[in-house]
Amino acid sequence: GEDVEQSLFLSVREGDSSVINCTYTDSSSTYLYWYKQEPGAGLQLLTYIFSNMDMKQDQRLTVLLNKKDKHLSLRIADTQTGDSAIYFCAEKDYKLSFGAGTTVTVRA
Amino acid sequence: DSGVTQTPKHLITATGQRVTLRCSPRSGDLSVYWYQQSLDQGLQFLIQYYNGEERAKGNILERFSAQQFPDLHSELNLSSLELGDSALYFCASSTGGARGFTGDTQYFGPGTRLTVL
């Protein structure tokens, strides 16, 4: 079965970088995703990475994948107050298996 | 806006009742997925439909059922409701979803918040 783990909380100062870490277990996952959920809202797709890639950059977001260690991270550069949300890592075969989510709090 | 719509946004009902949640996928998407988000279980996959046919089942209770209609919208039916069924129910859609194909991205609707009293 699949098991995706994330740290539950991260507090970061505005303007600093945030790094959210995730580990997964299913080595057959072809895609790994990051979703963002703001309070009272749905899941917004942030970015994804194909399993044969090591890194993907998309504006302020950088995804790093270490396939050997089954470790995925999301770095948010120049973190803003609008980045405060819950971030979910997910691995995918035919369905998405989500981690518990990391609550990111941005302090002024 | 993901293009996936869900109605209603909120639903309050009593134990033992039955409700129907509705989802319209993005234009052109053939697959619909249902997920449940609760405080104790997190985000859990319930069921997937692809072009009208059930494609995959996850942690879906026997009291729950779903279907996808010819116009590709989907309904999730929850019956004999219990307090523990209170949760946020998400629908997602993707272009593919054929068996063995994992390359398509799922886009989520805003969810239906179900409260069972």
Q: Distance between CA atoms of A40 and A85, rounded to whole angstroms?
A: 10
Q: Is the pLDDT of residue A42 over 90?
A: no
Interchain proximity A48–B105, CB inside 8 Å: yes
Helices (H) and strands (E) in chain B, counts: 0, 11
The answer to whether the CB of B5 falls within 8 A of the CB of B66 is no
Plot region of A78 (φ>0 → left; ψ -120 to 50 → alpha; else → beta): left
How sure is the predictor about B102, in pLDDT bands with cuts at 50, 70 and 90?
low
Q: Is the pLDDT of residue B53 over 80?
A: yes
The answer to whether the CB of B111 falls within 8 A of the CB of B98 is no
Q: Is the pLDDT of residue B39 over 70?
A: yes
Q: What is the pLDDT of residue B1?
A: 82
Distance from CA of A41 to the nearest CA of B (A): 6
The answer to whether the CB of B46 falls within 8 A of the CB of B35 is yes
B90 touches A at CB < 8 Å: yes
Closest CA to A40 of B24, B110, B115: B110
Q: Distance between CA atoms of A48 and B101, rounded to whole angstroms?
A: 16
**DSSP bridge pairs for A105:** A11
The phi and psi torsions of A97 (rounded to 5 degrees) equal: -115, 120
Averaged pLDDT, B89-105 = 75
Q: Distance between CA atoms of A100 and A90, rounded to whole angstroms?
A: 10
How many interface pairs between A and B have CB atoms less than 8 angstroms apart? 54
Please report residues of A whose CB lies closer than 8 A to that of B103: 30-31
The answer to whether the CB of A79 falls within 8 A of the CB of A12 is yes
Q: For residue A66, give the amino acid letter.
A: N
Please report residues of B whose CB lies closer than 8 A to that of A44: 2, 108
Q: What is the pLDDT of residue B97?
A: 59
- Please give the structure tokens belonging to residue A14: 């505005």
Q: What is the pLDDT of residue A1?
A: 41
Distance from CA of B79 to the nearest CA of A (A): 24
Interchain proximity B109–A92, CB inside 8 Å: no
| HEC assignment per residue over A12-50 | EECCCCEEEEEECCCCCCCEEEEEEECCCCCEEEEEEEE
Please report residues of A whose CB lies closer than 8 A to that of B50: none
Round the average pLDDT of chain A to a whole number and report it. Answer: 91
Interchain proximity B105–A31, CB inside 8 Å: yes
Q: Is the pLDDT of residue B45 over 90?
A: yes
Share of residues in chain B with pLDDT > 70 (%): 94
Dump pLDDT digits (tens) for A53-62. 899 999 999 9
Q: What is the pLDDT of residue A101?
A: 95
Please report residues of B whose CB lies closer than 8 A to that of A48: 105
Q: What is the pLDDT of residue A27?
A: 72
B57 CB-near residues (< 8 Å, 6+ apart) = B46, B47, B48
Q: What is the pLDDT of residue B99?
A: 53
Closest CA to A49 of B103, B1, B93: B103
Dump pLDDT digits (tens) for A89-107. 998 877 888 999 999 999 9
Q: Is the pLDDT of residue B50 over 80?
A: yes
B45 touches A at CB < 8 Å: yes
